[in-house]
Each structure stands twice: as structure tokens, then as C-alpha cells.
């Protein structure tokens, strides 16, 4: 699985600051209540460094401006926030800055300012690469804006993250996978994906109440994401996050949709379930098969509340299933023990390989 050495983030939420309009699905009040002043941001960073990050040693520390369209706000305003971080960069208490913004708000002047003030990482909200979905979601930009933004940001030497959403109005699994393929071709440094949720106060709430929009079910979201994650892993693109983080504000605003506090884990478990099923189907090994995976993958293999084990037992009419961890198996791989050694699947290439006896046992 592609992993990124994530920096320690001090998140500053600037709800809707700079946003030219309100996207259909968005209510940043579900993330943070009010916009902090630049002065308050400075105090917040100082407090965070003193209280939460004082024992974090050499790990990179970033201040992140989230929740709005950073480069679409008045230049004076964005600079006033960046200026508050400058003393922390000079004293090396903070290493760099990250911002999130819209793909159509990255003009040359803005990029020059971001470079000048120490911005290293830019996360852009592409959401979908299908114009029909973008129009229905009232994004106000098209897929080509995202292509152009990613290419320019890479050219300027920024670290680039891309946000995609699934289940927006008009979206389909095929559209999502096509969006993903376009983004993969552009080779961003990382991707975040989250399902569209119906939040109190977002325009989507009205459509949902009128019966004109239905969010994905959790099962559907897992199915789409499973396919997406495997593509990203094959392309060695880091998946920084799947699904939104649980916050009190989100819980207060959530009306409907496939929210799960550990969505990435659910998707990983679903992939392990498919791999185990594939192996059992191709190599039935008696009533008590033994699976081996990397120790860190054991809980994903078992599934939440042992769901995978129970499902496989039912599906194949097995007496029991044993699982064991082995450091020699690479993360994401799965081996089914056989009389002659083992058969396994390497999740990244999804190749099926045999004769692992020398490697595994
Ligand atoms: S999705 Fe992004 S651009 Fe749209 S309203 Fe929300 S913060 Fe603003």
C-alpha cells in the first residue's frame, strides 16, 4: 500500500473564506464554526506547538489552512494569514505551510506569493473529472481546470494533493474510476477521497429532502472505493485519507450518507475478503484453512467484529479459519497455506503466485 510520511499538521479552518459560491454538498460549518482572525491563528499555532507538539522531535510540522479557497480570497487577506506563520518558519518551529483551494484559483501571482511565504503543499478540490457531475454539484469549474492546476503546481515545484468525492449528484462508479484514471495520469503526490454526505445547511439537504438526491449506501461506497484504492496502489499514488474525520461539528450536521469513522479500514477489509475468497475458490484446502498476512494486516483480514471470517465460513461452509501474521509477507499480501507450501495474492499487482514455500514457511 502506498504510504506517505505525513507531517504533523496544525489545522487552521477558514470556513468558506474565498469561496466564490457555495458548492451544493458543502457546509464548512460542519468542520469549524467561525473564521479565526490572523492574530488568533498566531496564538493557536503557538499554543498547539507548546501543548500538543512539544515532544514530536524531528517530524515535519506544517500549518494547514483548510476549509475555504485560500487562493481565491483577497490577496491582502491571504497574505495577512501567511504573515502570521512567518515567525514560526523563521524560528524553525514550523517547517512549511499547506493550503487547500479550488483548481480555478491558482493564477501566477497567487503561486508567487505562496512560494514566497513558505507554502510547500497545495491540496486542490477536483472532486470529479466529469463535467456533468461538476455542473450538477455547482462547482463552478470544469475538469480541465483541475488538469491545468495540477500540471502548473507540479511545474512550480509544489507538493500536490487532490481531493475527489464519490456519490455526488450524477456520479456513477464508472465516472469515479474515469476521474481517478485522469488524476492518476497527472501523478499527484497524494489523493484524498471522501463520499458525498448530506449535511445540515448544505444545498444538498434540500434536494435530499425533496427525494431528488440519494447518497450512496455504505456498501456502495465501499465497493467503489475498493476499486479506486486498488488502482491508486497499482499506480503507487499515496492515499492520504479515505472519508472525513469524525468531529463533533460533523456529527451535529450529518443527516445522511455513507459516513464511517474508519472507512479506509472497511475498504481494506473488503479487499482482504475478496482476496481470501479468490484463494479459497481456487485452492479449496479442507475445512480449516490457514491464512497468513503481515501482522499489521491481521485486523483488516479478520474484518470488523470478525466479519470476514464469519462471511468466509458461511460462504465456503468451513468449520473454522485460522489467521496468522508473518513479517515476511508484504503489507496487503495474503497467503493461503497449502500442503505443499502456500498460494497467495500480491494485492498491488493483484498477481496470483504459487510456490511460496521458500519465502513464507
Ligand atoms: S467545496 Fe470548497 S470551494 Fe466549494 S464551498 Fe466548500 S470550501 Fe468552498
Q: Has this prediction a pTM greater than 0.85?
A: yes
Q: Are 59 and 98 in contact (CB under 8 A)?
A: no
**CA dihedral over 45, 51, 54, 56, signed as positive or negative:** negative
* Ligand 1 pocket by Cβ (under 6 Å): 16, 19, 22-23, 26, 28, 68-69, 102, 125
Q: Which of 239, 261, 283 is the last residue of a domain?
A: 261
Name the closest-CA residue to atom 8, ligand 1: 19
Q: Is the pLDDT of residue 8 over 80?
A: yes
Q: How far is the CA of 110 from the centre of ligand 1 (A)?
A: 18
Q: How confident is the model at residue 345 (pLDDT cuts 50, 70, 90)?
A: confident
Give the CATH number for residue 82. Answer: 3.20.20.70
Asked if the structure places residue 2 within a domain, the reply is no
Residue 356 has pLDDT above 50, yes or no: no
Distance 28 CA to ligand 1 centre (A): 8
Look at residue 127 and tell me if it is in a domain.
yes
Looking at the fold, whether 166 and 127 belong to one and the same domain comes out as yes
State which of 20, 26, 72 you would mutate to test the pocket of ligand 1, scoring each by most atoms of that ligand within 8 A of its C-beta. Answer: 26
Quote the ligand 1 centre to 16 CA distance (angstroms).
6
The last residue of a domain, from among 232, 261, 290: 261
CB 158 within 8 A of CB 101: no
Task: Tell me the mean pLDDT in the region 200-217.
Answer: 97
3-state DSSP helix/strand/coil percent for the chain, to nearest 5? Answer: 40, 20, 35
- pLDDT band at residue 48 under the 50/70/90 scheme: very high
Contact between 343 and 335 (Cβ < 8 Å):
yes
Do the domain assignments include residue 191?
A: yes
Range of the domain at 247: 8-261
**Residue at 3 is within a domain:** no
Atom of ligand 1 nearest to the CA of 25: 1
Q: ∠ CA(109), CA(110), CA(112), 5° rounding?
A: 65
Q: Pick left, alpha or beta for residue 161 (phi over 0 → left; psi -120 to 50 → alpha; otherwise beta).
A: beta
Number of domains in the chain: 2
142 belongs to a structural domain: yes
- In Å, how far are 118, 226, 257, 294, 331 from 243, measured between CA atoms? 28, 13, 11, 24, 21
Among 243, 261, 279, the domain boundary falls at 261
**pLDDT single digits (tens) 127-171:** 999 999 999 999 999 999 999 999 999 999 999 999 999 999 999
Residue 245 is assigned to a structural domain of this protein: yes
- Judgement on whether residues 102 and 245 belong to the same structural domain of the protein: yes
Distance, CA 26 to ligand 1 centroid (Å)? Answer: 6
Pairing of strands 198-199, 254-256: antiparallel
Which residues, at least 6 apart from 138, have a Cβ–Cβ distance to it below 8 Å? Answer: 21, 22, 23, 24, 203
H or E element in which residue 88 lies: helix 75-90
Instruction: Tell me: do 319 and 284 sit in the same domain.
Output: yes
Residue 206 and residue 111 share a domain: yes
Q: What is the per-residue pLDDT for 341? A: 79
Does any domain span residue 137? yes
Which ligand 1 atom sits closest to the C-alpha of 21? 5
Sorting pLDDT into bands at 50, 70 and 90, what band is 272? very high
Is 58 in the same domain as 36?
A: yes
Q: Does residue 1 lie within any of the structural domains?
A: no
Amino acid at each position: 500500500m502506498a504510504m506517505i510520511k505525513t507531517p504533523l499538521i496544525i489545522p487552521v479552518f477558514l470556513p468558506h473564506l474565498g469561496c466564490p459560491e457555495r458548492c451544493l454538498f458543502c457546509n464548512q460549518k460542519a468542520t469549524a464554526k467561525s473564521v479565526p482572525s490572523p492574530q488568533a491563528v498566531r496564538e493557536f499555532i503557538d499554543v498547539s506547538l507548546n501543548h500538543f507538539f512539544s515532544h514530536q522531535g524531528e517530524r515535519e510540522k506544517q500549518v494547514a489552512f483548510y476549509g475555504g479557497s485560500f487562493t481565491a480570497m483577497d490577496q491582502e487577506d491571504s497574505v495577512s494569514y501567511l504573515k502570521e506563520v512567518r515567525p514560526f518558519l523563521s524560528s524553525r518551529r514550523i517547517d512549511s505551510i499547506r493550503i487547500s483551494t479550488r483548481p480555478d484559483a491558482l493564477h501566477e501571482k497567487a503561486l508567487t506569493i505562496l512560494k514566497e511565504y513558505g507554502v510547500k503543499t497545495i491540496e486542490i478540490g477536483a472532486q470529479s473529472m466529469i463535467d456533468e457531475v461538476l455542473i450538477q454539484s455547482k462547482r463552478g469549474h470544469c475538469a480541465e481546470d483541475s488538469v491545468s492546476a495540477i500540471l502548473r503546481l507540479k511545474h512550480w515545484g509544489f507538493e500536490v494533493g487532490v481531493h475527489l468525492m464519490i456519490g455526488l449528484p450524477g456520479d456513477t462508479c464508472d465516472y469515479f474510476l474515469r476521474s481517478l484514471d485522469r488524476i492518476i495520469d497527472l501523478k499527484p503526490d497524494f489523493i484524498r477521497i471522501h463520499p458525498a454526505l448530506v449535511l445540515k445547511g448544505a444545498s444538498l439537504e434540500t434536494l435530499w429532502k425533496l427525494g431528488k438526491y440519494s447518497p450512496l449506501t455504505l456498501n456502495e461506497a465501499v465497493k467503489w472505493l475498493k476499486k479506486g484504492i486498488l488502482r491508486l496502489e497499482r499506480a503507487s499514488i499515496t492515499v492520504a485519507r479515505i472519508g472525513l474525520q469524525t468531529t463533533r461539528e460533523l456529527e451535529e450536521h450529518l443527516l445522511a450518507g455513507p459516513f464511517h469513522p474508519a472507512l479506509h479500514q472497511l475498504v481494506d477489509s473488503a479487499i482482504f475478503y475478496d482476496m481470501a475468497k479468490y484463494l479459497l475458490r481456487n485452492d479449496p484446502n479442507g475445512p480449516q484453512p490457514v491464512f497468513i498476512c503481515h501482522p499489521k494486516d491481521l485486523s483488516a483480514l479478520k474484518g470488523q467484529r470478525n466479519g470476514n471470517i464469519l462471511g468466509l465460513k458461511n460462504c465456503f461452509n468451513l468449520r473454522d479459519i485460522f489467521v496468522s501474521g508473518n513479517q515476511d509477507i508484504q503489507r496487503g499480501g495474503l497467503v493461503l497455506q497449502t500442503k505443499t507450501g502456500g498460494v497467495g495474492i500480491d494485492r498491488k499487482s493483484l498477481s496470483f503466485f504459487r510456490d511460496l514455500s521458500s519465502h513464507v514457511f
